[in-house]
Amino acid sequence: NVEASIPEPQRDAWKKHSAQGFTTKEQFEDETVRHVETTLARSLFNCDELAAYSGASLAFRDRLVIEWNKTQQRQTFADQKRVYYLSLEFLMGRALDNAMLNVGLKDVARAGLKDLGFRIEDVISQEHDAALGNGGLGRLAACFLDSMATLNYPAWGYGLRYRYGIFKQEIVDGYQVEVPDYWLDFNPWEFPRHDITVDIQFYGHVSRHQDEDGKNVAVWEGGEIVDAVAYDVPIPGFQTPTTNNLRLWSSKASKGEFDFQKFNSGDYEASVGDQQRAETISAVLYPNDNLERGKELRLKQQYFWCAASLYDIVRRFKKSKKAWSAFPDMVAIQLNDTHPTLAIVELQRILVDLEGLDWVEAWGIVQNTFSYANHTVMPEALEKWSVPVMQNLLPRHLQIIYEVNSQFLQMVEKQFPKDRDMLRRVSIIEESQPKMVRMAYLATIGSHKVNGVAELHSDLIKSTIFKDFVEIYGPDKFTNVTNGITPRRWLHQANPRLSELIASKLGGYEFLTDLTKLNKLEHFLDDKDFKKEWQEIKYANKVRLAQHIVNTTGVRVNPKALFDIQVKRIHEYKRQQLNILGVIHRYLTIKAMSAEERKKLAPRVSIFGGKAAPGYWMAKTVIHLVCSVGEVVNNDKDVGDLLKVVYIEDYNVSKAEIITPASDISEHISTAGTEASGTSNMKFVLNGGLIIGTCDGANIEITREVGESNIFLFGNLAEDVEDLRHAHNYGSFKLDPDLAKVFDAIKDGAFGDANRFTALCSSITDHGDYYLVSDDFNSYIKTHALVDEAYKDQDAWLEKCITSVSRMGFFSSDRCIQEYAEMIWNVEPLVPEQRNGK
Ligand code: T68
């Protein structure tokens, strides 16, 4: 009974006064103005767009909070299994537009804001992105939160409340410059919970004691304590009252720790220093995508967040007074990559050291609780922690890891007697100098399921990094859940006109919660008006992007040209270098053409965007090459509109919402076998763009769904990559002749001082071409020629686009979450009664 917490005599009064939130335009205006005047203490005479954004957000926040409170109560009383999604990154982007659409009151807000003198788009764009992530992994977590709430799963996200999210990128003189992203100035979407504070211990030592029953127990003593303070963010589902919680932890010096000794003796600065040291833990997001550098502060972040989250989860479980054996029936914990692996060790520590469970029983509970998703096979991204570093920071956890390893190796030894090399290979501890803890192995051993994020990737992990573990545990422990994206943000919000057109044909917006309904669009392939409108929408989206480009770069691009887009983190494996080298090849080809030949060519705009990790020098060089080529090409009178090259600075979620709907073609061209899934490929196709790509990650499943004739595939296959690399290293490397001409132009200084690009060129020509740029170059160029040809037949092109969209149902993150829920978490949704106005 939801009301049982209010004493009987006062229940009516509480009910009568309980907040309702607005539903009408009038009420929305009331609430918005009230918040501007009183909550923000602003005079209405200087209510600018930012104040309007703040007032409108607070009005919507009130609505979310009301449902959020009810959802939390409902979930508590239902007392059923919950999912906890642990991710070091949540790349949420903006919240207001999403809140408006999910509660179904965007039209009300638009009309209300108009009355108050504002355009809704201008108000929405005041919001600072919540950018607590690097790229795909963090955005996946955000899509999953949206789907879990929409599907009414009792689910919590747990993460870190970084004071600085991913840096802002500025392009200065063609180089990336990083600027700190201080995003918390005004953030109406979070609620500090100062009453929910957890003490987190670091360093110290372990001693052994006898307890009352004479049992030998480990006690972790000494060291230092840092406080974890909870900040809660409401996550509204789409067209459902379910509003879940994302809990982010912020670090603060513990009250006990604030050094009053120093303070009282007048050493104020030193005592403040301790405060700052504690706050450093959650200060900044590490800006590396697919790279682990083993810094101690990162390990501190990981433990801080895992320990606080586990404390919270265990506390909630204990309130139910169930036996520990029921823990896995009430709790599923999903690890987003290996970053939260210490949570496995922490739960074992809580059960054995603090709750007195027997080791074996505790470990069974742990394994049945956790599951682990892997997002990469690339060696440089696999997490390993130095044993000495861990010994110092988390002495008890290291002991537990050694014990887990010892029992695991004994089991393997029994299964594979005398296979000493097997024991060496699968040991959690790598016998290197220093010794290292292999987190992917620990995560695998501590979980009941391990999954990859697209079919090829899930196959690859079974035949590479986890090959031995498949032998040990059997194949059933390993599974695939192909990634997905939320159609709410990536279609309805980013491309409202297309969403509306689709709804008008399908008779409503059901496709937004059942994306397979898109397949009915194929019935309209002969509908001239429909196709015309589709084309107009694409054109309008391109005009909007062209406007953004001229505003931010000064480069004027023709929206009638073919827009060719590659936006994602800059990485050698993602091969932006292949793209820009191909662009140079196109430029050289145009320069060599007669005026007559040029007339037959389809104009192109090559659009790049994405951040390079600040310490990734080669990636920064690629950005510089793109900008340098743009400088030359965009000012070459011979070329005119036939080719433009632009770099969009500071690619993030809100920019993606403008860029994604504007592509004709987008590039997903990683070396086969390197991109675990990719998710922007799905977003582009869902918005009516085609893709050029390699047989890698989810491109393969996209091909299966949309059909081979609707995608431009090229390049070597994953199964051949190893042999090609081997051949390069043993003298058989041959530079592609077209690529050789491109390098000649660069070396001749066609794009400025050639020395700046020497290392980039020689990584291909002299250092083994690890990413197979030369091997795939010819096939890439030829496939782009096919794209040019295909684009000339606009009718056929349009048919490919519409057909592709109609076949994208599989790639909804709703399907993906349902697979996790059924195959891995074993949780049921908790469907609320739909209330009025929903
Ligand atoms: C991405 N991984 C995969 N990692 O590269 C991409 N790494 O193929 C996949 O679609 C996506 O995950 C979702 O599954 C990342 O984004 C990181 O950002 C990262 C961050 C820290 C350390 C290592």
Taking only the tens place, the pLDDT of each residue in 643-659 is: 999 999 999 999 999 99
> Model confidence over 153-170: pLDDT tens digits?
999 999 999 999 999 999
Q: Could you tell me which residues come within 8 angstroms of residue 654 by beta carbon, excluding any fewer than 6 positions away?
A: 93, 94, 125, 127, 129
The question of whether 704 is a catalytic residue gets the answer no
In this prediction, residue 90 carries a pLDDT of 98
In this prediction, residue 326 carries a pLDDT of 98
For the chain, the average pLDDT equals 96
Mean pLDDT of all residues in 459-488: 98
Question: Does the structure show a pLDDT above 60 at 2?
Answer: no
Cα torsion 555, 560, 564, 565: sign: positive
The H or E element containing residue 198 is strand 191-202
Residues in contact with ligand 1 by the CB-under-6-Å rule are 134-137, 140, 288-290, 292, 375-376, 381, 453, 483, 675-679, 697
Domain ranges of the chain: 79-94+129-480, 499-811
pTM (2 decimals)?
0.97
In this prediction, residue 835 carries a pLDDT of 59
In this prediction, residue 214 carries a pLDDT of 87
Compute the distance from residue 297 Cα to the ligand 1 centre, in Å.
Answer: 20
In this prediction, residue 270 carries a pLDDT of 79
User: Looking at the domain that runs over 499-811, which CATH code has it been given?
Assistant: 3.40.50.2000
Question: Does the structure show a pLDDT above 50 at 187?
Answer: yes
Mean pLDDT of all residues in 783-809: 98
ipTM: 0.99
Residue 340: cis peptide before it, omega within 30 degrees of 0? no
> Model confidence over 495-526: pLDDT tens digits?
999 999 999 999 999 999 999 999 999 999 99
Closest C-alpha residue for ligand 1 atom 7: 290
Going by pLDDT thresholds of 50, 70 and 90, the confidence category of residue 94 is: very high
In this prediction, residue 266 carries a pLDDT of 75
In this prediction, residue 836 carries a pLDDT of 44
The question of whether 683 is a catalytic residue gets the answer yes
Cα torsion 68, 71, 77, 78: sign: negative
Question: In degrees rounded to 5, what are phi and psi of residue 241?
Answer: -70, -15
Mean pLDDT of all residues in 433-447: 98
Angle at 604 between CA 602 and CA 609, to 5 degrees: 160
Closest C-alpha residue for ligand 1 atom 21: 289
Compute the distance from residue 376 Cα to the ligand 1 centre, in Å.
Answer: 7
> Model confidence over 602-632: pLDDT tens digits?
999 999 999 999 999 999 999 999 999 999 9
One fold for 79-94+129-480 and 499-811 = yes
In whole angstroms, give the CA distance from residue 752 to residue 739.
Answer: 18
CATH 3.40.50.2000 fits 79-94+129-480, yes or no: yes
What secondary structure letter does DSSP report for 808?
Answer: -
Closest C-alpha residue for ligand 1 atom 13: 137
In this prediction, residue 255 carries a pLDDT of 76
Compute the distance from residue 678 Cα to the ligand 1 centre, in Å.
Answer: 8
Question: Does the structure show a pLDDT above 90 at 89?
Answer: yes
Going by pLDDT thresholds of 50, 70 and 90, the confidence category of residue 837 is: very low
9-18, 384-393, 540-549, 738-747, range with the lowest pLDDT: 9-18
* Substitution candidate for ligand 1 out of 91, 305, 375 with most atoms within 8 A of CB: 375
In this prediction, residue 827 carries a pLDDT of 98
